[in-house]
Amino acid sequence: MEKAAVNRQPDLDRRLALLERKGKELYGEHFKLYQEDHPLLEKLMAYMVEDREKVEQMGLSLRKGILLLGPTGCGKTSLMTLLRLFRPPDECYRVKSCRVVSFEFHKEGYEVIRCYSQGILWSPSRKPGAYCFDDLGAESCLKHYGNTCNVMGEILLSRYDLFVSQGVKTHLTTNLTSSEIEKTYGSRVRSRMREMFNLVSFEKGARDKRG
């Protein structure tokens, strides 16, 4: 066991180096990975490369998606965007802002909910695709022809059905607490989220990397 753990550490270091290099390419030379985030990164990396032994040790499930929780500016969006590098091709997910989804609903109506619920907006095979919905809670409850809808709440309920019936994963980032999620989206959504997601959280008071 000790030898295996030692052998895995160089792999982790190489992956983190690749992650930082790709981050600089995408976001600029100011991008960096912080030492205090390494435990969280190790957990996310183990999940992304499907290291089953490590994942089980960390209390995660490969069957579920990731719910990445942390304060504004801590790096949730950039990490979930970059970590797609390590996903198997058939489980690569698309990152989509919840605000953009709500604006699309305002413009196009309920067809948007159907498409995201089925994941067919980008899947070439027209099969349900994986998504990471970014910044849950930042969207507005917009209207379409006078009809108000909690768009992300409806999408999450529908994607729960896909999760149960077909094993389709959904990922989320948010800075909302559990109680705020329940207040915003209701107990039905919150209950299903417990089954759908592995909760992975930045440390309380994590620094704002945008500064």
Domains of the chain, start order: 63-201 (3.40.50.300)
60: tokens are: 């995660």
Looking at residue 114, what is its pLDDT?
Answer: 85
Looking at residue 2, what is its pLDDT?
Answer: 39
Give residue 4's identity as a one-letter amino acid code. A
Looking at residue 33, what is its pLDDT?
Answer: 94
Looking at residue 207, what is its pLDDT?
Answer: 78
Checking 54-63 for CB contacts under 8 A at 24+ apart, the result is 54/8, 60/198, 60/200, 61/198, 63/167
Chain-centroid distance, C-alpha 57: 21
DSSP, res 52: H
- The ranges of the chain with pLDDT < 70 are 1-8, 119-128, 140-148, 211
Give the burial string for 173-210 (b: 16+ CB within 10 Å, else e).
Answer: bbbbeeeebbebbeeebbebbeebbbebebeeebeebe
